[in-house]
Structure 1
Amino acid sequence: MSIINKMLKDIEKRKPQPDLELEKTVEVEPIYDYATLGKRAGIGVLLCSVVILAYVFIPQKKASDLSKTQKLNAELAQPVQGDELAIQGSGAAQNASATSSIENQNIQNNSVVNSANSQAGIDDQKIDPNIKTQSSSALAVKVTDEPVGKANKKDQAAQADNEARAVKNKVTPAQAKINVRQISTQERADNWFNKGKEAFKFGLIEDAIIDLDKALTLMPLHIDARSLLAAAYYGRGELAQADAILRQGLRFNPDVMRWRVLLAKILTEQQSYQSVLPVLSQQFERYANIDFWILKGTAAQQLGENDIALNCFRQLTQLQPEQAKWWLALASASEIAADKYNARRYYMTALQLGGLSPGSQDHAEQRLLYLGEN
Structure 2
Amino acid sequence: MSVINTMLKELDKRQQSYSLENMQVEPVQSQVSIYAKTPWVLLAIVSFLLLFCVGYLWDNVSHTGGTQQAKFKQVLTSSGLTESVAEESYHLVDTRAQVVDASVIPRSSNVQLAMKMAPIENQPIKPFPARVAVKDAVVSLPIVHQAVDKANMANNPQSMAVTEVRLSAKQLAEKKYQLGTQAEDKGEQKEAIEHYHQALTLIPAFHEARQRLAALFYGQGHLMQSSDILQQGIRLFPQELDYRMLLARVQQSAGEYAQALVTLEGIPDGVRLSKQKWILESSIGQKVKNYTLAEVSYRQLLQIEATQSRWWMGLAYALDAQKKYDTAVVAYEQALFYRAVPEQGLSRQAVDYIEARLVQLGESL
In 2, distance between residues paired with 1:224 and 1:340?
47
2:222 is aligned to: 238
> Is the 2:268–2:274 contact (alpha carbons within 8 Å) kept by the matching residues of 1?
no
2:182 paired residue among 189, 198, 209: 198
Code of the residue aligned with 1:361 in structure 2: it is V
2:78 is aligned to: 76
Task: Assess, with a 3 A threshold, how the Cα gap between structure 1 residues 281 and 81 changes in structure 2: closer, same or farther.
Answer: farther
In 2, distance between residues paired with 1:338 and 1:186?
58
In 2, distance between residues paired with 1:187 and 1:340?
61
> Is the 1:189–1:215 contact (alpha carbons within 8 Å) kept by the matching residues of 2?
yes
2:281 paired residue among 278, 296, 300: 296
In 2, distance between residues paired with 1:244 and 1:370?
48
> Is the 1:297–1:312 contact (alpha carbons within 8 Å) kept by the matching residues of 2?
yes
1:65 is aligned to: none
> Is the 2:244–2:266 contact (alpha carbons within 8 Å) kept by the matching residues of 1?
no
Corresponding residue SS for 2:303: helix
Code of the residue aligned with 1:304 in structure 2: it is K
1:369 is aligned to: 359
Code of the residue aligned with 2:188 in structure 1: it is L
| Larger Rg belongs to | 1
1:346 is aligned to: 331
In 2, distance between residues paired with 1:186 and 1:372?
65
1:187 is aligned to: 171
Shift of 1:185: 2.3
Shift of 1:220: 1.8
> Is the 1:192–1:214 contact (alpha carbons within 8 Å) kept by the matching residues of 2?
yes
1:255 paired residue among 239, 247, 252: 239
1:136 is aligned to: none
Task: Assess, with a 3 A threshold, how the Cα gap between structure 1 residues 79 and 322 changes in structure 2: closer, same or farther.
Answer: farther
Task: Assess, with a 3 A threshold, how the Cα gap between structure 1 residues 79 and 203 changes in structure 2: closer, same or farther.
Answer: same
In 2, distance between residues paired with 1:167 and 1:282?
74
TM-score w.r.t. structure 1 length? 0.52
In 1, distance between residues paired with 2:226 and 2:315?
32
Gaps of 5+ in 1: 1-71, 85-163
Code of the residue aligned with 2:293 in structure 1: it is I
> Is the 2:302–2:308 contact (alpha carbons within 8 Å) kept by the matching residues of 1?
yes
> Is the 2:241–2:267 contact (alpha carbons within 8 Å) kept by the matching residues of 1?
no
Code of the residue aligned with 2:199 in structure 1: it is A
Shift of 1:210: 0.7
> Is the 1:255–1:284 contact (alpha carbons within 8 Å) kept by the matching residues of 2?
no
Matches within 5 A, 1:104-115: none
Shift of 1:353: 1.9
2:149 is aligned to: none
Task: Assess, with a 3 A threshold, how the Cα gap between structure 1 residues 274 and 170 changes in structure 2: closer, same or farther.
Answer: closer
Asked if 1:311 corresponds to 2:296, the answer is: yes
Asked if 1:280 corresponds to 2:276, the answer is: no
In 2, distance between residues paired with 1:302 and 1:343?
19
Corresponding residue SS for 2:355: helix
Task: Assess, with a 3 A threshold, how the Cα gap between structure 1 residues 363 and 245 changes in structure 2: closer, same or farther.
Answer: same
In 1, distance between residues paired with 2:220 and 2:267?
32
- The answer to which of 224-233 and 184-193 deviates more is 184-193
Shift of 1:207: 0.6
In 2, distance between residues paired with 1:240 and 1:184?
33
Corresponding residue SS for 2:258: helix
1:225 paired residue among 202, 209, 215: 209
Gaps of 5+ in 2: 1-73, 87-117, 126-145, 147-161, 340-344
In 1, distance between residues paired with 2:253 and 2:170?
33
Shift of 1:323: 2.9
1:32 is aligned to: none
Shift of 1:343: 2.4
In 1, distance between residues paired with 2:83 and 2:264?
84
Code of the residue aligned with 1:319 in structure 2: it is I
> Is the 1:260–1:280 contact (alpha carbons within 8 Å) kept by the matching residues of 2?
yes
The alignment yields a C-alpha RMSD, in angstroms, of 3.7
Corresponding residue SS for 2:352: helix
TM-score w.r.t. structure 2 length? 0.53
1:161 is aligned to: none
Shift of 1:170: 6.9
